[in-house]
Amino acid sequence: METNSNTKREITMTEFSTPLGPMLAGATNEGICMLEFTNRIKLDKEINELQNLLNAIPVEGRNQHLDQLEIELQEYFEGKRKTFEVSIHTPGNDFVQSVWKTLQEIPYGTTCSYKEQAYKMNNPKAIRAIATTNGRNRLAIIIPCHRVIGSNGSMTGYAGGIDKKKWLLKFERENSEIPDGNLFK
């Protein structure tokens, strides 16, 4: 017999329009737990994993975190916002948390390689594990995994699509104060 102790929490979900197409956003009471392009590879699997991690069910709607995210995304796409302040909820183990924290330290308008990210984490032998964890990031743009490129400058591994990754990098480069580097040479 089921009891109320099995009551699931909710992930409030809504869709936002962006210059790159629609994005699906989700938030718990703690913060934003998902922001993905609706055509992301394996989006359904990602939503199911998040539901399991949080013991939650998705419900359509809005909350204060989603309202704040909508404003911050609009500012980002206007070139006015370089970092996000909205609360985030990123379930995961210590390794996952450290990978995503390192991603958030990559300055707007710049890139780094997976190898550089591994060295920054003092874990140079974990390049593959770090790259895999980058790919499991559920907060596109907020946790900027699009800023990580191959050591040879190649545009690798972005579940939202390489075209979106290139667009985001070019957009950030054009809206940053950082002198133009050799990103697209």
Domain spans, the chain? 7-77, 94-174
> pLDDT at position 183, please?
42
Whether domain 94-174 has CATH 3.30.420.40: the reply is no
Instruction: Kindly tell me if the per-residue pLDDT of 182 is higher than 50.
Output: no
CA distances for 56 relative to 27, 90, 99, angstroms: 11, 14, 24
Q: How many helices (H) and strands (E) does the chain have?
A: 6, 6
For residue 41, what pLDDT band results from cuts at 50, 70 and 90?
Answer: confident
Instruction: Kindly tell me if the per-residue pLDDT of 184 is higher than 60.
Output: no
Pairing of strands 23-27, 32-37: antiparallel
Instruction: Kindly tell me if the per-residue pLDDT of 185 is higher than 60.
Output: no
The residues near 88 (Cβ < 8 Å, ≥ 6 apart) are 31, 32, 33, 139, 142, 143
Q: 64-76: per-residue pLDDT in tens?
A: 999 999 999 999 9
In the block, residue with structure tokens 């069910």: 57
- Min mean pLDDT across 18-32, 92-106, 168-182 is at 168-182
pTM: predicted TM-score of the whole model, two decimal places: 0.89
> pLDDT at position 160, please?
87
Instruction: Kindly tell me if the per-residue pLDDT of 4 is higher than 60.
Output: no
At residue 81, what is the residue type? R
d(CA 100, CA 104): 6
d(CA 114, CA 29): 33
For residue 6, what pLDDT band results from cuts at 50, 70 and 90?
Answer: low
- CA torsion sign for 110, 116, 121, 126 is positive
Q: How far is CA 33 from the centre of its chain?
A: 9
The residues annotated as belonging to the active site are 145
Residue 23 dihedral angles phi and psi, to the nearest 5°: -125, 140
User: Under CATH, which number does the domain 7-77 receive?
Assistant: 3.30.160
> pLDDT at position 158, please?
85
> pLDDT at position 3, please?
39
Tell me whether the CATH fold assigned to 7-77 matches the one assigned to 94-174: no
